[in-house]
Amino acid sequence: MEQSAVTSAVLAGSISHDLSVWGLFLQADIVVKIVMLMLILASFWCWAIIFEKIMRMRRLWGQAEEFEEAFWSGGSLEALYDRIGDRPSSPMASIFTAAMREWRRSAAKGISDAAQKAGLSQRIDRVMQVTLGREMEALERHMTFLASVGSTGPFIGLFGTVWGIMNSFQAIAGSKDTSLAVVAPGIAEALFATALGLVAAIPAVVAYNKISSDLGRYAARLESFSSEFSAILSRQFDEA
């Protein structure tokens, strides 16, 4: 009879704890809940950044192909600049318009000697580099957030785990009962925080490495275009 009562009490204690994902969140300590909410929000924000970067990189590669096709088509660079206007639609077009704008300003003032030509060439190179740096800085926005979540997410989750395990040990000491029904819920809540930390960190790290590689290749493409365009303008200086 006594054994049956003990078994019923243990079963009742285990049934009273909901070990589902939602139940673990609701039963967690307030500190662990805050940690979980932080990790969930960070994960959602990371995925938003990931999708935005992936879609934007695809769009930029397509725009670069279209611009380079128009640039190397053999048409007039002046006509291409007039068609683009003051609102370039891509970083490569922005570099082109910045260089052409400087070219037109200097041409309007007149270029008479070799020193002026050399100075204009240096100014155009500097303008293209500044524009390239500004465009890449805009493309790299929010990348530090991915890196931060990827590096700190597991540790934030581990903090929630440690806090939850401390509460579990206090509950064990208070009830003086080390049965699985007493220990399991608190441990499960604590480990859930670690799981959320990994869920937030792993995609952030993978996406950061992938997007950084894509941005590096795109920056190299812009650098190559700047060098080629600078060479074209240099030949025009010599012909002039």
Q: What is the pLDDT of residues 149-186, one digit of tens each?
A: 999 999 998 888 888 888 777 777 776 666 666 666 66
pLDDT band at 110 (very low <50, low <70, confident <90, very high): low
- b (16+ CB within 10 A) / e for 207-224: bbeebeebbeebbebbee
pTM of the predicted model, to two decimals? 0.78
DSSP designation for 28: S
- b (16+ CB within 10 A) / e for 132-171: beebbeebeebbeebeebbebbbebbbbbbebbbebbeee
Express each pLDDT in 14-57 by its tens digit.
445 555 656 666 666 788 888 888 999 999 999 999 999 999 99
- Per-residue pLDDT, 155: 92
In the chain, alpha helices (H): 2-15, 21-27, 30-71, 77-84, 91-109, 114-139, 143-175, 180-239
Nearest Cα residue to 198 out of 34, 24, 26, 40? 40
pLDDT band at 107 (very low <50, low <70, confident <90, very high): low
pLDDT exceeds 80 at position 212: yes
pLDDT band at 191 (very low <50, low <70, confident <90, very high): confident
Nearest Cα residue to 123 out of 236, 12, 234? 234
Site of tokens 């049965």: 179
Express each pLDDT in 61-104 by its tens digit.
999 999 998 888 877 888 888 888 777 888 999 999 988 888 87
